Structure 1
Amino acid sequence: MSAALLFHPSPDAVYGFPHARLVARVDSRHQRIEVWDTRQLGRLFTLDGRPMTSTGDEFIYHECMVHPIALAHPSPRTALVLGGGDGGAARQLLRHPGIERIVVAELDAEVVRLTREHLPDVHGAAFDNPRVELVIGDAAQYVAAAAPSQFELVIFDLTPPDSPAASLYTPAFYQQLKRTMRPGAALSLHLGSPYFHARRIAGLLDDLRAAFAVVRTMNTFVPLYGSLWMMASASDTLDPAAIAIDTLAERLAARGIDSLKHYEPAMHAGLFSASRSVRDKLSQFLKPTR
């Protein structure tokens, strides 16, 4: 039986997919997980009613979260994914042959189970790869107990800040995380829609800039999220926005990465360039710089 699958990115906005079909629903210890079939984006899953990943457009989000910072780094070998139970971020990281170890710290084992069963195209059997280590549990606890100077890349593939992942979007957690990052390391995280979440995005950017020397915003349209979507990179030394297009193309070729669906060197500069209207929406909430 079909139904309208509706999402509310803010109290005064709604969008969705008519004629969606519920495939599976599980109430885990942490959240409600639902898997849906849609005509527009194929199979997707939600957490507590929020859209997470769809087979029709997951490559947009995952490629932008992974490849700009992975290509900016000259030779990444280790990566940490916070969340990422659908395996999409790990799958993209595995495209870089120099990466020897990927740790995926996912809170909810049911997310892994359901997405492995119902969204195989997203994970691409990433969790069966010997380079990937899946850790089920609180990502904050994993980071607190982790040995120092382990990771060159960190991907925040988490639910938004107003969710069970709230404690991971804080200055205190960024400081803990920096302890586990090697010199020259970088992280990426998603921020939200500048049209629906401008105040939240500005707060996240203020906290990131207080913790890291180099913070850059990225933006691209993600159909599942119904809007232009903002992400960010953060590092004390690495600036992916400053990498030349020729260098990006050379690194893609050297690493044998030739089948991406969305990201390419020609769009790299545009990914890091926010329009005037987006800058205006954020500026009213950002703290003034000194």
Structure 2
Amino acid sequence: MKDDERPVEPLPTSDTLIEELDPHHGFFCRGARLLEAGRSRYQRYEVWDTPTFGRLFRLDGSLMSAERDEFVYHENLVHVPALCHPAPRRALVVGGGDGGSARELLRHPDIERVVVVELDEQVVELARRHLGAIHQGAFDDPRTELHIGDGLDYVRGAVAAGEVFDLIVLDLTEPGEGPAAALYREPFLADCRTLLHGEGALTLHLGAPWRQAEQVRALVQRLRTVFAIVRPYFMFIPLYGGLWGLACASERVDPQARSASAIDAELVRRGIAGLRYYNGEVHAGQFAQPNFLRELLA
């Protein structure tokens, strides 16, 4: 992913897909094939097929998700909060138009309702056409409710209506001045806190601490002004070029307090199998921070 303020580059004309992570470094994929590209009401989109990552999609020139490594992101974004809740039944995904977060939420046997609020209908249609390996039919599950619209408006309306959720997953594009900018600000986060019921928790991505240190620090500090418990956690995501941060925020739940054995036992109890990344030891280990992150997030 790249910073939103950077200009959108023209589509490449060769079979080499170049991802500039910042103005000074990036990576490339040779043998890439463009499957579809265009512009929606909100953003430019591309879907590529690559030898390394399989199918992937970009929005406004920034990589969003890829078949080969999306499980690292989606499993951690969903199961860290979900396994700390005794029986999550109602979940809200803001963003998540590729369907990966909904897919993981639907693994939990007590889930009755997964509301996906995606601003750009074209993203969902792209996923349906090209990214079946990611959503795996999640949009067609009867427990899934798809709403096309602004997540800010949906959450405000849900607060006014007295709705509650056990889990809120903010599966968004980067912070900045784009469509998602308001969804990282304190008023929206406070509305999300209002929607959380009991031992509910919210998760979102923070970014790359190597090249987005100030963004990561600022988001954690912002969460701490809204929620009683905020736990950042980190993992390596190849598509995003290195170490990547997520955070879990709650009024009651502390995911760092859950042991590896407790997480593994809960996975067995819920009958959740076939995960490719997340397990009890991974859960516990991701909250360990090297010294530079401790200093950044102090």
The TM-score normalised by the length of structure 1 is 0.95
2:91 counterpart (54, 79, 84): 79
Match of 2:166 in 1: 152
Match of 2:136 in 1: 124
Report the identity percentage: 47
Distance 1:213 1:10 in 2: 33
Q: CA deviation at 1:21?
A: 1.2
For residues 160-182 of structure 1, give each alpha carbon's deviation from its aligned partner in whole angstroms, at most 9, with x where no partner exists: 11231000000111111122211
Match of 1:180 in 2: 195
Q: Retained in 1: the 8 A contact 2:26–2:241? A: no
Q: CA deviation at 1:149?
A: 4.5
Match of 1:50 in 2: 62
2:246 counterpart (220, 231, 240): 231
- Match of 1:246, SS state, is helix
Match of 2:214 in 1: 199
Q: Which sections of structure 2, spanning at least 5 residues, go unmatched?
A: 1-12
Q: Retained in 2: the 8 A contact 1:219–1:228? A: yes
Amino acid at match of 2:287: F
Match of 1:261 in 2: 276
The 5 A counterparts of 1:35-114 are 35-114=47-126
Distance 2:186 2:290 in 1: 27
Aligned-residue Cα RMSD (Å) equals 1.2
Q: Retained in 2: the 8 A contact 1:7–1:16? A: yes
- Match of 2:16, SS state, is strand
For residues 223-255 of structure 1, give each alpha carbon's deviation from its aligned partner in whole angstroms, at most 9, with x where no partner exists: 110111000000011011111222211210111
- Match of 1:258, SS state, is coil
- Match of 1:15, SS state, is strand
Q: CA deviation at 1:2?
A: 4.5
- Match of 1:3, SS state, is coil
Distance 1:199 1:257 in 2: 36
Q: CA deviation at 1:148?
A: 2.5
- Match of 1:85, SS state, is coil
Distance 2:88 2:251 in 1: 16
What number of residue pairs does the alignment pair up?
Answer: 283
